[in-house]
Amino acid sequence: MIDTSLLTSITGLALADSVNPCEMAVLLIVLVTILTKNPENRKKVLYAGLAFVSAIFIGYLIYAFLLIQFFSFLTVKISGFSVYVYNGLAIFSMIMGALNIKDYFYYKPGSFATEMPLSFRPRVKMMIKGIASTKGAFVIGILVTLFLLPCTAGPLFVASGLLSEIGIMKSIPWVLYYNFIFVLPMLIIVAFVYFSYKKVDEISGWKERNIKRLHLVAGILLFLVGLSLLMGWL
């Protein structure tokens, strides 16, 4: 039987992570780079986009399992304090939510803990501009996950802490579920560009116009999940 409380928590956290503007911005740069080098070869755009998204998926699988192991180790070492770890995760989720909601009212590019630091962006763009093949897109995708962590790791951190309570083996389908929701918007963007429903600049323009709203949605989800955990509603 599915644990509905855990399902609600993991879904909310994954949705909050999936609308983060960071991942969308990086994917759009990748697609622009591939399109510039292969203006008539949309299959290459599709394959490179899927390779990049696959790399993000795999990278975050690895991070999730490392975090789950970390929390499992932590709760064993401080036996009896698991309730404090649980409440700490709830409060952390609320703080991350509040920071995202703040960005709706007082937005600043590269905001602390909610967007990729401005100092990282030139390096990421240089890395992405070197993409020349599907394999290259995959390799760059793995590397880029490290730069995405400052703006996307919050929900994953909380989700991994919750999943550590059921053990590494039982958490595998949950992590796969979380990551699928996380990369789903990126898959949709790749499909839109490949089938020419939308141009990259149109999607990029939509993201920029709605970046505050994306932060607001992510913030509300994170805050509600954290509050529900703290109050024992989940």
Q: Hey, what are 107's tokens?
A: 């937005």
Question: Distance between CA 64 and CA 14 in Å, rounded?
Answer: 12
Mean pLDDT value across residues 128-142: 81
Between the two ends of the chain, the Cα-to-Cα distance in Å is 16
- Give the pLDDT of residue 79: 62
Q: How confident is the model at residue 77 (pLDDT cuts 50, 70, 90)?
A: low
Residue type, 169: M
Q: Please say if the pLDDT value at position 141 is more than 90.
A: no
Q: Please say if the pLDDT value at position 229 is more than 80.
A: yes
Instruction: Fill in the DSSP letter of residue 41.
Output: -
- Give the pLDDT of residue 197: 66
Q: Please say if the pLDDT value at position 31 is more than 80.
A: yes
Mean pLDDT value across residues 2-30: 88
- Give the pLDDT of residue 43: 84
Q: Name the 3-class secondary structure at 66.
A: helix
- Give the pLDDT of residue 7: 94
Q: What is the 3-state secondary structure (H, E, C) of 1-26?
A: CCCHHHHHHHHHHHHHHHCCHHHHHH
Q: Please say if the pLDDT value at position 206 is more than 90.
A: no
Q: Which of 56-70, 71-85, 89-103, 179-193 has the lowest mean pLDDT?
A: 71-85
- Give the pLDDT of residue 53: 92
- Exposed/middle/buried for residue 84 (C-beta within 10 Å: 0-12, 13-18, 19+): exposed
Q: Please say if the pLDDT value at position 88 is more than 80.
A: yes
Q: Hey, what are 123's tokens?
A: 């390096």
Instruction: Fill in the DSSP letter of residue 110.
Output: T
Q: Which of 17-21, 55-59, 127-131, 154-158 has the lowest mean pLDDT?
A: 127-131
- Give the pLDDT of residue 81: 65
Mean pLDDT value across residues 72-78: 75
Question: Distance between CA 171 and CA 190 in Å, rounded?
Answer: 28
Q: Please say if the pLDDT value at position 80 is more than 70.
A: no
- Give the pLDDT of residue 56: 92
- Give the pLDDT of residue 78: 67
Q: Which of 7-11, 34-38, 75-79 has the lowest mean pLDDT?
A: 75-79
